Amino acid sequence: MSQLSQKHLLGIKNITEKDIELIYETAKTFKDVINRPIKKVPSLRDITIANVFFENSTRTRLSFELAEKRLSADVVNFSSSNSSVKKGETLLDTVNNILAMKVDMVVMRHSSPGAPHFLSKHIDANIVNAGDGTHEHPTQALLDTFSILEKHGTLQGVKVAIIGDILHSRVAISNIFALKKMGAEVMVCGPNTLLPKYISSLGVKVELDVMKALQWCDVANVLRIQLERQQIKYFPSLREYSLYYGINRRMLDQLDKKITIMHPGPINRGVELNSDVADSEHAIILDQVENGVAVRMAVLYLLAGVHN
Amino acid sequence: MQKKLILDTHLLHITVDRLCQQLIEAHGDFSETAILGMQPRGIHLADMIHQKLEEDLKTKIDLGYLDTTFYRDDFRRRDTPVKANATKVPFIIENRNVVLIDDVLFTGRSVRAALDAMIAFGRPKKVELLVLVNRKYSRHLPIEPDFIGKDVTTLESQRVLVELEGGKHNKIWLINKEEK
């Protein structure tokens, strides 16, 4: 198979294992491309992509923009902070206006869960979900699982603990779907207040003790505390969170095995991860960033090849 | 039209031997020259030629594989996109002679893409093209091979089927596109 089964990438929940495998395979070849002296290929030279970000983002937008430019696409960037959305324009009107300028693909981040799904029902362009509220962040899950695959050679049977703020994390949900589809075992770990009530129904283990989670897992995917998505206090203080759920070198040294540490960034240093872990040989955080560009190149390239 | 055998295993070996002699005449000991096989099927011919040249010259010769998928001009125009293959060019091609190798030359579009892909690794001094089967009168672009295994005159409705993967049972067929 050399074509994705879907025209959009809205989430991991509804894509097939075969689609994910094709994305991995294509990402491998793009990783090779971005490590050459000339990091650019002409594949998408006749395509225009709009990055429509209704929510602040630095690394995801940068990663998408770099992926698009390395595929030779024309890129337009839109952020809601300096746009007509502030004047009361609807999402559909905003995107339709962008599409009237002959845009072929839309990469969208929105604070409302389901916003890209809504858009996909009303417009013709390919849509890539770059994060919708607390719902999904499919390309992050694809790059995370690709990074684990690269490090461990397989996803089958690999034990992954997702540690931290699961409740407010779209990364956690997409990662759970992707890891389960590809045969990994998943555990979530965090304070009770940051674990959604439905979480065990997704077929994951639940653990409140971070040391037990570390002892169980091969990979610890540590999430950032999403302070900007919390209207109320879910724990007494950052210091207390750090004491109970922060990971430091001493904890890793107590384990009888070497585990891989991941983090989608940006890291709250000293809160969820200490610098002696984030900068250690255990961490593959910068590999995740590099793989992010390759995986996003693969997604955009493959979606552009889907015939209507 | 019947399936017609163009080259059998024996004739193929003679053809490869002749191509290698021509290459040695043009490139001497290959100290200034590298070989690049075009993915997916040109790499098998490149492997055969590379092995024969190393045996004859008793020296190491640089061999790479070049994938042209991302450089093609028919992306989004075909019914099914082409699947990407690995590119392996573990040497510098800047200012060197390069012999580009493919199994069949048809429209010339793959070779155009290969030239584009190759430039991403540096600027070669000279590039030559070697093909096993040259389909005459079918070119869309002004591209012609320097070394030819066999010239074949074909119709648009025919295709050349190359079976090189097996090693022992190498055969080149001319078949109608409908036949598989």
Categorize the per-residue pLDDT at A26 as very low, low, confident or very high, splitting at 50, 70 and 90. Answer: very high
Interchain proximity A42–B71, CB inside 8 Å = yes
The encoded tokens of residue B175 equal 């078949």
CATH 3.40.605.10 fits B2-73+94-176, yes or no: no
Q: pLDDT at position A22, please?
A: 96
Task: Read off the pTM.
Answer: 0.89
Q: pLDDT at position A307, please?
A: 66
B77 in contact with A, Cβ within 8 Å: no
A137 counts as catalytic: yes
B85 in contact with A, Cβ within 8 Å: yes
Q: What gap in Å lies between CA B153 and CA B155, rounded to an integer?
A: 7
A109 counts as catalytic: yes
B11 in contact with A, Cβ within 8 Å: no
Q: What gap in Å lies between CA B66 and CA A151, rounded to an integer?
A: 26
Dihedral pair phi/psi, residue B160, rounded to 5°: -100, 125
Q: Given A28, A40, A43, which is nearest B75 (Cβ)?
A: A43
Return the residue in B65, B66, B70, B73 with the most chain A beta carbons within 10 A, the one to mutate for interface testing. Answer: B70
B74 in contact with A, Cβ within 8 Å: no
- Cβ–Cβ under 8 Å, residues A141 and A174: yes
A71 CB neighbours in chain B (<8 A) are 70
Interchain proximity B116–A42, CB inside 8 Å = yes
DSSP annotation string for A171-213: HHHHHHHHHHHTT-EEEEES-GGGS-TTGGGGT-EEES-HHHH
Whether the ω angle into residue B142 lies within 30 degrees of 0, i.e. cis, is no
- Cβ–Cβ under 8 Å, residues B144 and B133: no
**Chain B neighbours among A 283-302 (CB < 8 Å)?**
301-302
CA distances to A38, A79, B137 from A68, in Å:
15, 17, 38
* Other beta carbons within 10 Å of A190: 29
Whether this model's ipTM surpasses 0.85 comes out as no
Q: pLDDT at position B157, please?
A: 81
Categorize the per-residue pLDDT at A231 as very low, low, confident or very high, splitting at 50, 70 and 90. Answer: low
Categorize the per-residue pLDDT at B178 as very low, low, confident or very high, splitting at 50, 70 and 90. Answer: low
